[in-house]
Chains A and B, each alone.
Chain A
Amino acid sequence: MYKYDQLDQTIVEERVAQFRDQVARRIAGELSEDEFKPLRLQNGLYLQLHAYMLRVAIPYGVLSSRQLRQLAHIACRYDRGWGHFTTRQNIQFNWIKLEEAPDALADLAKVQMHAIQTSGNCIRNTTTDQFAGAAADEIEDPRVWCEIIRQWSTFHPEFSFLPRKFKIAVTGSPNDRAAVRVHDIGLRMHKNARGEVGFEVIVGGGLGRTPFIGKTIRDFLPKQHLLSYLEAILRVYNQFGRRDNMYKARIKVLVHEIGIEAMREKVEAEWQAIKDGALQLPQDLVDQIAAHFAPPPFETLPAGIAPEYAQAFRTDFEFGLWARRNTAKHKQPGYAIVTISLKKEGEAPGDASAEQMQAVADIADRYSFGEIRVTHEQNLVLPHVKQADLPAVWRALKAYDLATPNVGLASDIIACPGLDYCALANARSIPVAQQIALRFKNWERAHDIGELKIKISGCINACGHHHVGHIGILGVDKAGEEYYQVTLGGSADQNASLGDLIGPGLDARQVVDAIDAIVETYLRIRQKDEIFLDTYRRVGLKPFKEAVYAAA
């Protein structure tokens, strides 16, 4: 993984010093709250419902064991012993004191971490496939380009006060695990007719109040032009994006209003003027960054299933259940990718205790070259585990309640913090997720239901990605009461789609029953091998709607 050189390190340390000065000026009264707010936000510090919340970037979801241990330290020293992994490969600490925030950032800087641009109307943490560098279906490792984007976007002087926030996602695989079609810019690596690898550039996707699936602005962008092309898009957006209404200020609205052809014309014209300039990346520098992402020293192992793994799979039912759901195919023979579920039924999705973080760091050191990933679905990943070690990894995880065999199942729910923590929320998310997960706790039923992505947001900002949930749930405030709107048929993968609203809102108790009724309907009418989404796409809303409102 990427390691800072002295220059990167200096910049992050200078940021800590700058923020320490800003906090001191605020506490001394030299800065008003109005002046200070944008400054603290650009360093990921929010004032939430109960306290300050610090959002720490985990660039493109990659963590070393040392970094994860430091996050555990932050959780203990500055918080109440917990961290919350978010839907954007970040981690949030919910109980931070303003006066201690600079110290927390200084501790993060010691392990090459920061909270830079985790909020504000700037370019946010770039996200990618949590299986990058390990996935069997990968064309090329997207992390190299994510790191290049990280550097280019860090304190970009022209793009620090955009009309609105800006999110970039990259996938290096045809099976999109990074939701690139619902980002401000999505980059999909693929090969052109000559076998060269480049980017399909997708622009104007996004969730929130007005969801859009992104549109392709360029089919194939040669890699060396990535930064100039991004700069051209951002420059057009910075100048022409709407600033009269914050709800219409994202790039998706600009693309929608002027149309993708006009957008392309502007961007391509701007790009022509800068493409051969200083942002054209010298291969030397790309190689230097790529070298950081060289594969770890894998053992040469035979192809096929390792005997120890096969043996445990046959003899230990519980292990087999877990291995089926929580492991994925690795590109290296004899290895597997392990997803660690942070979705134990009844717990808050994405939460990890300091003790669990320590445990995962230790397990990663022993079994996964000290590397961990964070997923936008709020789980963790051990990217490089020998198949023969899977039974031991499973036992080690189980000791810390980290082996729930539910990845991709009904209880593997994405949920934003909701009204329990978030100052913007209209309704709670976590308790709804907890109740639904408990409803689908029975493993037999859950595995029979199969892949089902339930996503819950506590307000229209859609941090819980409800629009692209197979089942989406949106919390709204109706005359002081929490209500939930249910959508069906959303998806964030390479066949992205937005969910359809099923009908009138439901209260917190009804919504759990409604999900149950929807799932029962699916089980009744599904055809061979169909997952819920397939069935929905075949039959549409009607039978599900009837089932939900029949009882009401």
Chain B
Amino acid sequence: MAKAPKLNDRPHVVTANHLSTGDVVYLTAQNEWSRAIADAVIAPNAEAAAAYLAEAEEQARRNIVVAPYLIPVDTQVSPPNPIQFRERIRAFGPTTEAA
């Protein structure tokens, strides 16, 4: 079995919570925030990821969002799918619909 790529080698997107609403949001290519991960700007490498995160942190200082951070995503699918389980729940909502 081929080894899965390390988390850090994967593409990333920037996520945060919107300050005044609390909504889960993703940084877009226009440096705006969208509630849909489909709108997220993809950072293909560490350099781009750092630049996007810096922009997001600046927006956190300007009190638009809270606590931005990078998450690795799988870009083979659409919309991009977060690798981490927790982030999939953040992106797509609770899994608790009655069986």
Asked if B62 and A29 make an inter-chain contact with CB atoms under 8 angstroms apart, the answer reads: yes
User: What residues of B have a CB within 8 angstroms of the CB of A430 in the complex?
Assistant: 94, 96
Asked if B21 and A50 make an inter-chain contact with CB atoms under 8 angstroms apart, the answer reads: no
B21, B66, B96, B98: which has the most chain A beta carbons within 10 Å?
B96
B43-84: which have CB < 8 Å to A?
60, 62-63, 66-67, 84
Docked CA distance A420–B20 (Å): 22
Residue from the list A52, A431, A438 in contact with B22, Cβ < 8 A: A52
A367 lies within 8 A of chain B by Cβ:
no
Spot the interface stretch: A91-99, A302-310, A381-389, A406-414: A91-99
Docked CA distance A33–B68 (Å): 12
B24 lies within 8 A of chain A by Cβ:
yes
Docked CA distance A10–B99 (Å): 46
In the complex with contacts A98-B22, A420-B95, A29-B63 CB distance below 8 A = yes
Docked CA distance A480–B84 (Å): 7
A421 lies within 8 A of chain B by Cβ:
yes
A525 lies within 8 A of chain B by Cβ:
no
B29 lies within 8 A of chain A by Cβ:
no
B86 lies within 8 A of chain A by Cβ:
yes
Q: How large is the interface on B (under 10, 10 to 19, 20 to 34, 35 or more residues)?
A: 20 to 34
| 0/1 interface trace, chain A 468-486, chain B, CB 8 Å (1 if under) | 0000000000001110000
| 0/1 interface trace, chain B 21-32, chain A, CB 8 Å (1 if under) | 111100000000
Asked if A27 and B99 make an inter-chain contact with CB atoms under 8 angstroms apart, the answer reads: no
- Within the complex, the shortest CB–CB distance from A309 to chain B, in Å, comes to 32
B36 lies within 8 A of chain A by Cβ:
no
User: What residues of A have a CB within 8 angstroms of the CB of B24 in the complex?
Assistant: 49-51
A346 lies within 8 A of chain B by Cβ:
yes
Docked CA distance A347–B96 (Å): 8
A434 lies within 8 A of chain B by Cβ:
yes
B38 lies within 8 A of chain A by Cβ:
no
| 0/1 interface trace, chain A 381-424, chain B, CB 8 Å (1 if under) | 00000000000000000000000000000000000000111000
Asked if A49 and B86 make an inter-chain contact with CB atoms under 8 angstroms apart, the answer reads: yes
Q: How large is the interface on A (under 10, 10 to 19, 20 to 34, 35 or more residues)?
A: 20 to 34
A435 lies within 8 A of chain B by Cβ:
yes
Asked if B17 and A47 make an inter-chain contact with CB atoms under 8 angstroms apart, the answer reads: yes
Docked CA distance A226–B90 (Å): 45
- Within the complex, the shortest CB–CB distance from A480 to chain B, in Å, comes to 6
Asked if B85 and A49 make an inter-chain contact with CB atoms under 8 angstroms apart, the answer reads: no
User: What residues of A have a CB within 8 angstroms of the CB of B99 in the complex?
Assistant: 346, 434-435, 438
Asked if A434 and B21 make an inter-chain contact with CB atoms under 8 angstroms apart, the answer reads: no
User: What residues of B have a CB within 8 angstroms of the CB of A28 in the complex?
Assistant: 63
Docked CA distance A420–B90 (Å): 8
User: What residues of B have a CB within 8 angstroms of the CB of A26 in the complex?
Assistant: 19, 63
B93 lies within 8 A of chain A by Cβ:
yes
Asked if B23 and A51 make an inter-chain contact with CB atoms under 8 angstroms apart, the answer reads: yes
Docked CA distance A51–B66 (Å): 11
Docked CA distance A482–B20 (Å): 32
User: What residues of B have a CB within 8 angstroms of the CB of A96 in the complex?
Assistant: 22
A416-454: which have CB < 8 Å to B?
419-421, 428, 430-431, 434-435, 438
Residue from the list B21, B89, B90, B98 in contact with A98, Cβ < 8 A: B21
User: What residues of B have a CB within 8 angstroms of the CB of A98 in the complex?
Assistant: 19-22
Docked CA distance A428–B89 (Å): 10
Docked CA distance A26–B60 (Å): 12
B60, B85, B90, B93: which has the most chain A beta carbons within 10 Å?
B85
User: What residues of A have a CB within 8 angstroms of the CB of B66 in the complex?
Assistant: 33, 47
| 0/1 interface trace, chain A 119-130, chain B, CB 8 Å (1 if under) | 000000000000
User: What residues of B have a CB within 8 angstroms of the CB of A47 in the complex?
Assistant: 17, 22, 66-67
Docked CA distance A28–B20 (Å): 10
User: What residues of A have a CB within 8 angstroms of the CB of B22 in the complex?
Assistant: 47, 50-52, 96-98
Q: Could you jot down 14 A-B contacts, CB within 8 Å?
A: A28-B63, A29-B62, A29-B63, A47-B17, A47-B22, A50-B23, A51-B22, A51-B24, A419-B85, A419-B89, A430-B94, A480-B84, A480-B85, A482-B85
Given A431-B95, A480-B85, 14 more A-B residue pairs with CB atoms under 8 Å apart are A47-B17, A47-B66, A49-B90, A50-B24, A51-B17, A51-B23, A96-B22, A346-B98, A346-B99, A347-B98, A420-B94, A428-B89, A428-B96, A434-B96
Residues of B at the A interface (CB closer than 8 Å) are 17, 19-24, 60, 62-63, 66-67, 84-86, 89-90, 93-96, 98-99
Which 8 A-B residue pairings sit nearest by Cβ, starting from the closest? A420-B94, A52-B22, A51-B22, A29-B63, A430-B96, A99-B20, A346-B98, A97-B21
